Amino acid sequence: MKISLTVIALILSYLSLFSQNPIVREELFELNNNQWNKVSIVERSFDNQGALTTEQELYFETAFQKWVFRNKKWFDAAGNEVRTIRRFFRGLNLGFGVQDTRRTFNDKNQVLTEETYFQEDKNRPVFLTNRNEWEYLADCSIIVRFYRQDQATDAELYFHNLQFRLFDEDCKFVRFVFNDRDISVDRLRNQFRLSFESLENGKQRRIVETLTCPNEFGCDEWAIREQKIFDADGRLLYFENGSKEDFSRSITNFEYLPTQTIRTFQTFTRLSNSTRQLLESRTVIVRDTSDSILSILSASPLSFSETTFAYNNQGLVTQRFSENTRKNSTGIETFRDTTSFSYAYYCDDLLKTQTIDYGNDFKTKVEYSYLKPADCGEVTDEILPFNLFPNPATNVLNLTSEQFVNNTLSFSIIDAYGKVIYQQRNYRGINQVIAINAFPNGVYFLQLKSQDKIATKSFIIAR
């Protein structure tokens, strides 16, 4: 079932190409012994502006003949997940265990706190188990502090560890590191060395070293090293990182073909704990301009696999071809599989059905109910007028339009040099909020894009 759910999630990511109406209910079925058995339900609620407010997932276990997993989420007006309650079946005598997670956000839609409450079973009280706190630094770096509860005692929460997420001067993510002490930011930064080396061909190599700290006075030698090389257009060409402690090393080369198809070559070397020999694996991934994966090739000392995908005109997977070869004690085994995906949409004002055939008499079916009647004709591609404010802006940019309620669009921020520095799809709601505090002052362009049309507005960041 896990495999089928994974594929369903992949297919759902493309569902907006067929309908611009929010889905209020999904029902997943599996065909067993010529009978469709319901295995999951997803129910959603929306406010009067079309913004998602709650989402509930139910998973059915035929062996127990019970809904063994329930997951309900609540969202605020900006689309932030403010609360999640997970209920999981632990047995007939214990009933459901409950995990309740609650989050708070700042005015930039960044999470500030996350508290998790837990109830082991229906006969035990609810207690606070975890509290996580986020601190956002001026240079885009982030500190997350984790606090835990000792379940054996009634003591207060204690500091467990922290995670420091380091960004460079362009607010690009560099690396994160954990520490089991709540130390100062300066001490955390002291564990990194970040430098840019200019090469003769105009490219830059970024060198990041995560250092070990054997004493209170700083770090003496590196534990993890990272290098990056970019081309003149800022595209990543080479990425290498390695760990000195376990002698592992990963190298990724990026090739941009004339068609803009991207081919990624990755080589990973690691030290075997049993033989103390260096083992090397290779992966090659090819993507097209829409970031869809065309093929994956993976090789290791004991196995080889290749998977290719075919798509239809709507960008949905129609076939997946896979071949796996691996060595064992008796020789070499080869497994081949061809999975076909067929999509049959039946319009009855509120319902569409999607059936996926995996071969070998294994099929799944998903039925969708929509907030508004499903559009069985041509989907309009028109971009309606939208408002952009404030302009000049400081830390937050707002976009408002009725089209964001029932349409799936993408918007990009482009700097004065024509470089795309931000991309995102809209969520369901009239108002869209974009955090721009990481961008320096200057002139920018907001580009709104549907499947075939583009609309652009300029704005200024001035602080």
Residue 294 lies in a domain: yes
Q: How confident is the model at residue 151 (pLDDT cuts 50, 70, 90)?
A: low
Q: Buried (b) or exposed (e) across 323-346, using 16+ Cβ within 10 A?
A: eeeeeeeeeeeeeeeebebebeee
The pLDDT of 67-92, averaged and rounded, is 88
Whether 324 maps to a domain, the answer reads: yes
pLDDT-based confidence at 91, cuts 50/70/90? Answer: confident
Of 297, 320, 337, the one marking the end of a domain is 337
Shared domain check, 397 and 328: no
pLDDT band, very low/low/confident/very high, at 18 (cuts 50, 70, 90)? very low
Contact 365, 350 (CB under 8 A): no
Task: Please check whether residue 53 lies inside any domain of the structure.
Answer: no
Specify burial of residue 106 (Cβ count, 10 A radius: 0-12, 13-18, 19+).
Answer: exposed
Q: Report yes or no on 115 lying in a domain.
A: no
Does residue 305 carry a pLDDT above 90?
yes
Question: Domain with 436 in it: what CATH number?
Answer: 2.60.40.3080
pLDDT computed for residue 371 by the predictor:
66
Same domain, 262 and 331: yes
Count of structural domains, the chain: 2
Answer whether residue 305 is part of any domain: yes
Which one of 337, 365, 396 terminates a domain? 337
152-182 pLDDT, tens digit each? 666 788 999 999 999 887 788 888 888 888 8
In angstroms, the Cα distances linking 70 to 4, 100, 204, 238, 248 are: 18, 12, 50, 44, 40
- CB-based contacts of 65, cutoff 8 Å, min separation 6: none
DSSP string, 411-428: EEEE-TTS-EEEEEEPPS
**pLDDT mean over 245-265:** 86
The CA dihedral of 371, 372, 375, 381, to the nearest 10 degrees, is -80
| Phi and psi, residue 10, nearest 5° | -65, -45
Residues 391 and 450 both lie in one domain? yes
Mean residue pLDDT of the chain comes to: 80
- 225 three-class SS: strand
φ, ψ of residue 185 to 5 degrees: the values are: -65, -35
> In this predicted structure, what is the pLDDT of residue 191?
83
R_g (Cα) of the chain, nearest Å: 25
Does the pLDDT at position 326 exceed 50?
A: yes
Tokens of 317: 């997977």
Which of 276, 304, 337 lies at the terminal end of a domain, its last residue? 337
Amino acid at 17: L
Please give the residue that has the higher pLDDT: either 151 or 293.
293
Distances (CA, A) of 62 to 31, 39, 49, 211: 13, 8, 38, 52
Which range, 182-191, 354-363, 376-385, has the best average confidence (pLDDT)? 182-191
In-domain check, residue 417: yes
Helices (H) and strands (E) in the chain — how many of each?
Answer: 3, 31
CA 439 to chain centre: 22
pLDDT greater than 80 at residue 342: no
Residue 204: pLDDT band (50, 70, 90) is confident
**131 pLDDT exceeds 90?**
yes
Whether 263 and 331 share a structural domain:
yes
Is 318 among the domain residues? Answer: yes
Is the pLDDT confidence value at 65 over 90?
Answer: no
The mean pLDDT of 12-39, rounded to a whole number, is: 69
Per the domain annotation, does 228 fall within a domain? no
Domain of residue 393: give its range. Answer: 387-461
What torsion, rounded to 10 degrees, do the Cα atoms 243, 246, 247, 251 define? -50
Residues 260 and 332 placed together within one structural domain of the fold:
yes
